[in-house]
């Protein structure tokens, strides 16, 4: 019986309704002050409430596929997941080091001062005005360890630009109860597997409540791609001591943000040397939002599977998907099949895994190790 199938979901609902009817029918018989009857009333209420919660949980799981099947649920409880590693396209190190001509952020000669009390201990929230896109919104920045130390005043750092899923917030990547990227980064820096990096988390849900998939819409619609890949990098380069070569910039995202990271690196290879795509996909998946007509030039622009087949850029990419992840697997498999040099992909394909943060948290250390080995700007110092 499938974890997300109609038979199991129907059985849980039937048991919940049956338990409720039994409680209603037997409640008068349980009346009375005796300890036994009090315990019986408490027990029956606990059972009904537990079944109601189970019903809600199974329905949500069927909708969002947090756990794809019973094997996935067992793997989440035991920490055991079946994994297949694949490499497609060219050499990732060569892709990360390739020279790409095109528009990229330029460093400023003079930088503004940091806010009072700024340090690597807490993220800093900024309101950023994007002249190219016309968007004004939030960007959260996590400084690397040692950024404010006088001894490092001349040091410039690589940048990881992160993209959250939908619905979510930029803090998804930074929060200790979520992806906790800053802590994992510090651990990998201490292990000499990656260089300290600036983490930049812009808001992608613009306007709030709309799944715009990080794309530019037709005139009158938000220009999200321009905001994320032009305005934000330009602002970062003019605000912080960062390196501006493509080998020092990486895009990283989960779920919808995984699509955004893939799109950024594929369409802007002069800015981003590589991307980490966790549970993402390679064609935008819109809900009610319609940024452009289905057969338009913009629709063709955002088909990364076709781009990988037709004219792949020299992008290094690390991606995770699962056979059981209905959100990610189909277009990821097509993307892997279409990939050819100079695009270079290292993929982790899970056998039984859903679409959830727990999987991506476990893989995060490996992605940072990969960045340190693949993109020259992230290589740890001797």
CATH topology of domain 83-378: Rossmann fold (3.40.50)
Residue 75: per-residue pLDDT: 56
pLDDT tens profile 135-144: 999 999 999 9
Q: Greater confidence, 167 or 69?
A: 167
Run of H or E including 221: none
Residue 68: per-residue pLDDT: 45
Residue 2: per-residue pLDDT: 58
Residue 62: per-residue pLDDT: 55
pLDDT band at 170 (very low <50, low <70, confident <90, very high): very high
Domain parsing of the chain, residue ranges: 6-64, 83-378
pLDDT band at 337 (very low <50, low <70, confident <90, very high): very high
CA distances from 328 to 12, 17, 120, 312, 359 (A): 28, 35, 34, 20, 13
Say whether pLDDT at 34 is over 50: yes
Say whether pLDDT at 48 is over 80: no
pLDDT band at 53 (very low <50, low <70, confident <90, very high): confident
b/e burial code for range 318-354 (CB count within 10 A of at least 16 → b) = bbbbbbbbebbbebbbbbbebbeebbbbbbbbbbbbb
- 339 closest CA partner among 375, 370, 305: 305
pLDDT tens profile 257-267: 999 999 999 99
pLDDT tens profile 211-244: 999 999 999 999 999 999 999 999 999 999 999 9
**C-alpha span between 240 and 147 (Å, rounded):** 10
CA distances from 20 to 14, 32, 45, 116 (A): 10, 20, 9, 58
**C-alpha span between 381 and 192 (Å, rounded):** 7
Residue 64: per-residue pLDDT: 46
What pairing do the DSSP bridges indicate for beta strands 344-350 and 83-89? antiparallel
**C-alpha span between 253 and 258 (Å, rounded):** 4
- Single pTM value for the model: 0.81
pLDDT tens profile 94-114: 999 999 999 899 998 899 999
Run of H or E including 356: none
């Amino acid at each position: 019986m499938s974890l997300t199938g109609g038979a199991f979901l129907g059985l849980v609902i039937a048991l919940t309704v049956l338990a409720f009817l039994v409680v209603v029918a037997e409640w008068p018989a349980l009346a009375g002050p005796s300890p036994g009857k009090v315990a019986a009333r408490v027990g029956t209420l606990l059972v009904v409430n537990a079944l109601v919660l189970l019903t809600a949980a199974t329905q949500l799981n069927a909708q969002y596929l947090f756990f794809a099947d019973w094997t996935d649920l067992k793997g989440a409880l035991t920490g055991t997941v079946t994994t297949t590693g694949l490499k497609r396209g060219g050499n990732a190190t060569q892709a990360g080091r390739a020279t790409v001509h095109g528009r990229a952020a330029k460093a400023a000669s003079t930088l503004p001062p940091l806010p009072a009390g700024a340090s690597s201990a807490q993220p800093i929230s900024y309101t950023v005005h994007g002249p190219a896109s016309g968007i004004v919104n939030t960007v959260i920045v996590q400084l690397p360890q040692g950024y404010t130390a006088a001894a490092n005043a001349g040091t410039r750092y690589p940048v990881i630009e992160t993209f959250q899923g939908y619905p979510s917030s930029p803090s998804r990547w930074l929060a200790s109860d979520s992806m906790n990227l800053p802590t994992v980064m510090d651990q990998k820096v201490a292990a000499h597997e990656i260089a300290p990096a600036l983490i930049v988390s812009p808001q992608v849900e613009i306007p709030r409540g709309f799944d715009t998939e990080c794309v530019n819409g037709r005139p009158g619609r938000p220009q999200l791609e321009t905001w994320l890949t032009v305005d934000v990098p330009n602002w970062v380069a003019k605000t912080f001591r960062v390196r501006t070569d493509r080998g020092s910039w990486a895009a990283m995202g989960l779920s919808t943000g995984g699509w955004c990271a893939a799109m950024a690196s594929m369409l802007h290879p002069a800015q981003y040397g590589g991307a980490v795509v966790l549970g993402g996909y390679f064609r935008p998946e819109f809900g009610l939002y319609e940024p452009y007509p289905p057969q338009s030039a913009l629709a063709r622009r955002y088909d990364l599977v076709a781009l990988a087949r037709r004219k792949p850029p020299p992008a290094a990419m690390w991606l995770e998907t699962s056979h059981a992840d209905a959100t990610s697997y189909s277009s990821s498999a097509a993307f892997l099949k279409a990939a050819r040099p100079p695009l270079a992909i290292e993929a982790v394909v899970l056998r039984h895994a859903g679409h959830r943060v727990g999987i991506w948290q476990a893989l995060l250390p490996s992605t940072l190790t990969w960045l340190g080995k693949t993109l020259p700007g992230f290589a740890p110092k001797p």
